[in-house]
Structure 1
Amino acid sequence: MTLRIGTRLQMITATALLGMALLIGLAAWDLSRVIGDARAAQTRTLVEAAHGVLAYFEGEERAGRMSRAAAQAGLSRRSAACTTPGTSISGSRTCIRAW
């Protein structure tokens, strides 16, 4: 059975469009995964930085070099940059630098 040239061209075009749609879908899925991984890594970094600052002030208080009120005040000053309304993902980088 032979197909007309118009039918062949339509089949080739449909196959190419289906392939491109599949590639776009795979690229979108991969981009979503990469963005999710980046957010998780950034959140992990921010939490680790906060933990480090908290451990520093706790250590200073326990060693007697700082009173509890001074340690809490120091921690409040360091964390003020991270609690401002509207802090975005790029703003959290500023929080890490501030610590």
Structure 2
Amino acid sequence: MNWSLLPLLAVVLLGSCKFKAVVSSGSELKGEGITFQVPDETSSSSSGSGGIEFNGESVKAKTDGKTLTVDDKDYGALKSGDVVDLREKGKVLVNGAERSPVTP
């Protein structure tokens, strides 16, 4: 076998596969001074200076560093250093305290 063709073969085989981002239990996403603790499930996410966005199978959440939105509901203000725990289905914890959606 011509070994110089091996990288090309790997690219062709891997290029035909579909990949999903998988976040493991206890994973953290950080952005704008906020930390999201996210569940162990198939997901996509982005984090950095623009904030955090997490799209998982059981929960979708985002922040710009100032407000928290979970499953399209407003969960109020956040400040730098806050930790948002999204690992328990149906609950949103901020710094260990359960938080409910803001009522308009």
TM-score of the superposed pair, with normalisation by structure 1 = 0.29
Q: Which protein has the bigger helix share?
A: 1
Q: Which protein has the bigger strand share?
A: 2
In our comparison, the structure showing a higher alpha carbon Rg is 1
